Amino acid sequence: MQSILVPLIDVVWPGILAPEVRERYADAAIVARCASEFAATHRLMVDHAGGRYAITPYAGFLCEDALYKGELLEAYRTAVAGGAEVSVHIHADRAAGEARYSDADFMRASIRARRADLASAGLHTTSYRSGEFGFSAVLADVLVEEGFDIDLSSAPGHADPVNQAFWPAAPRAGHYLADGRLFEIPIGVDGQGNERVRNYMHVEVSDLDNQKRILDSLRAAAGDDLPAVTHALFHSYSSALPAMAERWQRLLDYAAGSGWTLATPAEARAAYDRAA
Ligand SMILES: [Zn+2]
């Protein structure tokens, strides 16, 4: 059966919580740096993923809409025209003081505002991802009410009550949540633990061999009837670090060469639905 990897690019700056950045969160120089790092990442994604990937720009208390404006919005539009998909990405985690993934009014307002930003550039999305893997039944309802059909917030095996992340028994492969109303595309995980540095496909925090091992374990665990759908997380700022950029491109090349189809969230969901 088909295995589908959604390469996911989180657009944000490094050291987001460092005091010196925090004070200047929407500083034009920082936003410009994010834009140039995203442009470099996009070139890499064209070369190594055929341009098919997910873009999840940070939105949250540190910068609100700064990464959903101006030249970044234009860059997302170019990427989407080339086959990528942009997803609303809200950080309502404890960094803001208290996680708010169960606050329906707050989540609805945040999601609508960022979606409107995207729509102003002609970008329409029905996929969503939380920061820090936060989620709730309330959020699922909000997403469905707002017309979303894909969520990318799950980290199977992971629980972090402070951030309202609760995925201890979540399936490792793509599946439907919320009474079949939302297709969940989890971050890749080997199913052997919940340490970010070892068990998950957060590409920057573990080496290439470990990332390949997780991918292989997902393929081996895939059933015969439905495609195995997963995502791998990489951040736009890492493309400026040669060793990180190389790790990511080699991982994408390995995936493509070992039977994985690289796809956007919507393409992954469509392939799953066709097989179901
Ligand atoms: Zn994020």
Tell how far the Cα of 102 is from the centroid of ligand 1, in angstroms: 18
Domain 3-275 grouped into CATH 3.40.190.10: no
CA 131 to ligand 1 center in whole angstroms: 5
Q: What is the pLDDT of residue 79?
A: 98
Token pair for residue 259? 């039977």
Scored b (16 or more CB within 10 A) or e, 39-48 reads bbbbebbbeb
pTM metric for this prediction: 0.95
Q: For residue 36, how many other CB atoms are within 10 A of its CB?
A: 14
Residue-level pLDDT at 179:
86
List pLDDT tens digits, range 81-131.
999 999 999 999 887 678 999 999 999 999 999 999 999 999 999 999 999
Strand residue runs (E) in the chain: 3-11, 54-60, 85-86, 88-91, 127-130, 150-151, 159-160, 165-166, 175-177, 182-184, 228-235, 260-262
Distance 33 CA to ligand 1 centre (A): 17
In the chain, domain spans: 3-275
Q: How far is the CA of 227 from the centre of ligand 1 (A)?
A: 26
- Name the phi and psi angles at 7, rounded to 5: -75, 125
Region of 206 (left: φ > 0; alpha: ψ -120 to 50; beta: rest) is beta
Separation of 172 CA from ligand 1 center, angstroms?
Answer: 20
pLDDT of residue 221: 83
Question: Which residue, among 63, 50, 270, 261, has the nearest Cα to 150 in the 3D structure?
Answer: 270
Ligand 1 centre distance from Cα of residue 276 (Å)? 31
Name the stretches of the chain with pLDDT < 50. Answer: none
The rounded Å distance from CA 56 to ligand 1 centre is 7
What is residue 15's predicted lDDT score, i.e. its pLDDT? 63
Rg of the chain over Cα atoms, rounded to whole angstroms, equals 17
Q: What pLDDT is stored for residue 26 in this prediction?
A: 66
